[in-house]
Structure 1
Amino acid sequence: MDSYTGPRVAVVIVAAGSGTRLGAERPKAFVTLQGLTLLERSLHAVRGMRHAADPIVVAPAELLAEAAELSERASGRPVQVVAGGATRQRSVAEGLAVVDSSVEVVLVHDAARALAPSTLFDAVVDAVVERGYGVIPGLPVSDTVKRIGADGIVHETVDRSALAAVQTPQGFPCEQLLTAYALAESDETDDAGLVAAAGFRVDVVPGDAHAFKVTTPWDLRRAEEMLTGSRSPRIGSGSDTHAYDPAAELWLAGLHWPGEPGLAGHSDGDAVAHAIVDALLSAAGLGDIGGVFGTGDPRFSGAHGDVFLTEARRRVEEAGFRIGNVAVQVIGNRPKLAGRRAEAEERLSAILGAPVSVGATTTDGLGFTGRGEGLTAQATALLLG
């Protein structure tokens, strides 16, 4: 948010692998999962973080232009995209080479772990800041593990209580990670291995079952099933009404409308964004925009709609839901939305990581909106478990 005072964070998203085991015709990060590529889903998780974070995407050299387009669409702004190397470690090094000198914490995340939630990213950052050294998420190993020889003979049963299945994002103080890469003499299987080899401490924090790695066709089916959800869908509705204020600039549906009268309000008066926020919070049982953000909080004076939408999405996902789709209708005489409907839908969909449809109507001269005194927005949101 505009009052953010936390650490400067960069997230290196590794999307340069070929993914041959997945059996797809394209590199794994560019495979589609319910309408969005694995890369886009990873970037949506970064966008939903409570901590402000700058993503850096490492992609195959031949797909840099496509990666840049997907990244900007998912992030709502241009994203640094660099070409990967021959190995994962080399690819991460290419990403680290463009990390800004002011960054304090670096997360490294595999785009193939596309369902890792924003809350996991934030938890890793929090732990790095609190402890001052590397932190990696991991899950307990539930299967019995055997150590076997080259001949296939079982030699011993490994004590699984001392094992963890490690995930990403892995987080480190920036200086420690850069030092570890500068000292690297051989390839390690993950960044934590390099950091530990350089003499720095690394801790494991609780991981998340959603952060599994999509490696095989079976993994992709599992991801599809998880996105379908086991809980019943939930629907919420929201509305917002603002009077016109000719002295203000108009912001509506996340877009600036030059030459149109603005809307009165404590923030930028974006009735579309506010109605969507109410619908999302309602569906998740999290209250309403006034209760969550406050109607007079000075932090949100003049704040644009994407601030509220991003935070609402984070709260919804933290509650264990995924946004299925949103429909919103604007009721008023102006502005004329038809010419910018597609632009508005693309902007809102990118922020929420889900399809958003925008419609408009008038009241044939009747009532508050019909008299041209202001406009109303009504939204409906579908959440999936």
Structure 2
Amino acid sequence: MIGIVVVAAGSGTRLGVSGPKAFVELKGITILERALGGVFQSVEPAQVVVVAPRSHLVVAQAIARRAAGAASGAISVVVGAEHRQASVAAGLAALGDDVDIVLVHDAARALTPGEAFDRVARAVRASNNGVVPSLPVSDTIKRVDGPIVLDTVDRSELVHVQTPQGFPRALLAAAYASATVEYTDDSALYSAAGHQVETVEGVAQAFKITTPWDLQRAGHMLGVSTAIRTGVGMDVHAYDPAQPLWLGGLYWPDEVGLAGHSDGDALCHAICDALLSAAGLGDIGGRFGTSDPRFAGAHGDVFITETVALVAGAGFAIGNVSVQLVAKHPRLGSRRTELEHHLTALVGAPVSVAATTTDGLGFTGRSEGVAVIATALVHSDR
């Protein structure tokens, strides 16, 4: 199991505030809650431990419960220390015995998306090394002595390192137990203990909010990128005469069914993909994979209900969804209104459904299966 330690005990000195910067508001929501929003966008379930200053313990607990929502049982808050290293150690000590991979994340990197956590966790599991997300250095770097330039450093060997940083839990705990000096980040401490660290691709929006300029930049990014967003989804399923047909969450008697790990409801699946895409939450394969036995034979209603909850948890309201079925059969006919009403109730926003054929071309024209294309519009409700 994965454990995520979110460090939120740092001061706000360079940000120009008197209290801890994780509790400064960014577009009406604290930096800590923004950071936890990214944590809970990740695909894999995790135990989350927030490390907060004693002065803000109660406030942090309320933020944690609100950010976790239905997963509030998976998050806890512990008191941090004056220095970051001791704060991380406090978070590590609060993790359960079943945690074998630890991700350490700075709350100040408040806009880090869920995909960054997933990428680091997968890399740790695959390599059993420490893993840090990084971005290449784009500026020319000079080595200086006071005001005098000595030489130019080869930037091809340099990267900017971010969080979350991931590690095998046992090795990280042992490295912390043996540390005798303060390090600037967890990967430096881990390397000093003799362990290997590798990099994965970072994300630009995971920058650290340190100065008032950083805070303003983050506000601009939120205002521009999350006001209104659109997403596209597509799904394809082959006909299977041995299966009943479920499409759009409705049962279609006397029609050829669709093959699939679940009930093969391509229409519902395409809607899910469009909504997840619009909210930046990945895709249906990543969220509800065929390896998950919980969704074997599940109806499309289940996937839509789960997807709508994920979108809402990420801070988005659904504007509308438009779906087009490409197939020779079934013909929507008189069930189109029923279909739209049912899907609108599931999504909680208007859903329009259309259908077309390909004039005999391709696999749909040969009546081998169906294709569905969906588009969705969401907007920030925060």
> Judging changes above 3 Å, is the alpha-carbon distance between structure 1 residues 34 and 285 closer, same or farther for their aligned structure 2 residues?
closer
Gaps of 5+ in 1: 1-7, 244-265, 268-272, 315-322, 324-348, 358-366
Equivalent position of 1:208 in the other structure? 203
Distance, in Å, in 2 between the alignment partners of 1:104 and 1:89 is 20
The verdict on how the C-alpha distance between 1:23 and 1:242 changes in structure 2, with shifts beyond 3 A counting, is: farther
- Of residues 103, 121, 124, the one that matches 2:120 is 124
- Evaluate the alpha carbon distance shift between residue 36 and residue 180 of structure 1 in structure 2; reply closer, same or farther with a 3 A threshold: same
Read off the aligned partner of 2:125 and give its amino acid letter. V
Q: Which residue of 2 aligns with 1:353?
A: 315
In the alignment, the residues of structure 1 paired with residue 106 and residue 200 of structure 2 have an alpha-carbon distance, to the nearest angstrom, of 17
Separation in 1 of the partners of 2:90 and 2:153? Answer: 37
User: Hey, what does 1:251 align to over in structure 2?
Assistant: none
Distance 1:147 1:72, change over 3 A: same
Post-superposition CA distance 1:261-314 (Å, at most 9, x none): xxxxx99xxxxx99x958725857999989x969xx962378999976665687
Task: State which of 23, 28, 31 in structure 2 corresponds to 1:30.
Answer: 23
Question: Counterpart of 1:299?
Answer: 294
Cα gap change, 1:234 to 1:47, in 2 (>3 Å): closer
Distance 1:177 1:208, change over 3 A: same
1:107 alignment partner in structure 2? 103
Query: Which residue, 91, 108, 112 being the options, matches 1:95?
Result: 91
> What corresponds to 1:14 in structure 2?
7
Shift in Å at residue 117 of structure 1? 1.0
Partner of 1:376: 345
1:364 corresponds to? none
Mean Cα displacement is larger for which, 89-98 or 280-289? 280-289
Task: Report if aligned partners of 2:316, 2:379 keep a CA contact under 8 Å in 1.
Answer: no
Deviations 1:163-195 (Å, cap 9, x if unpaired)? Answer: 111000000000111011011010000000100
Secondary structure, in 3 states, of the residue corresponding to 1:66? Answer: helix
**Alignment partner, residue 330 of structure 2:** none
Q: 1:278 to 1:153 in 2, by over 3 A?
A: closer
CA shift in 2, pair 1:232/1:130, >3 Å: same
| Counterpart residue type for residue 14 of structure 2 | R
**Cα RMSD (Å) of the superposition?**
4.1
Give, as a single letter, the amino acid of the residue that structure 2 aligns with 1:352: A
Is the 1:48–1:313 contact (alpha carbons within 8 Å) kept by the matching residues of 2?
no
1:16 and 1:91 in contact (8 A); partners too: yes
2:357 is matched with: none
Conserved? CA contact 1:50–1:311, under 8 Å: no
Paired residues of 1:309 and 1:352 also in contact (CA < 8 A): no
TM-score normalized with structure 2 length = 0.67
Give the match's secondary structure for 1:101. Answer: coil
1:130 Cα offset (Å): 0.6
The residue matched to 1:229 in structure 2 has which SS? helix
Structure 1 residue 229: Cα displacement = 2.6
Alignment of 1:1-385 (within 5 A): 8-76=1-69, 77-78=72-73, 79-149=75-145, 151-229=146-224, 233-234=228-229, 280-281=275-276, 299-300=294-295, 349=312, 351-354=313-316, 376-377=345-346, 378-379=348-349, 381-383=377-379
Residues 204, 65 of structure 1: alpha-carbon distance in 2 compared, 3 angstrom cutoff: same
Q: The residue matched to 1:26 in structure 2 has which SS?
A: coil
Alpha-carbon displacement from aligned partner over 1:307-359 (angstroms, at most 9, x marks no partner): 76665687xxxxxxxx7xxxxxxxxxxxxxxxxxxxxxxxxx5x2334689xx
The alpha-carbon deviation at position 219 of structure 1 amounts to 0.6
SS in 1 for 2:210: coil
Paired AA for residue 353 in structure 1:
G
CA contact (8 A) 1:133 1:200 kept: yes
5+ residue gaps in structure 2? Answer: 233-247, 252-261, 320-336, 351-376
Count, aligned residues:
301
Deviation at 1:154, TM superposition (A): 2.0
Aligned residues: percent identity? 49
| Amino acid of the structure 2 residue aligned with 1:226 | M
- In the alignment, what sits opposite 1:334? none
Distance 2:94 2:81 in 1: 14
Kindly provide the CA deviation profile for residues 187-240 of structure 1, in whole angstroms up to 9, marking residues without a partner as x.
000000100000000111111111100001111111112122369934689xx8
Would you say the 8 A contact 1:12–1:107 is kept in 2? yes
Task: Report if the CA contact (8 A) 1:43-1:55 is conserved.
Answer: no
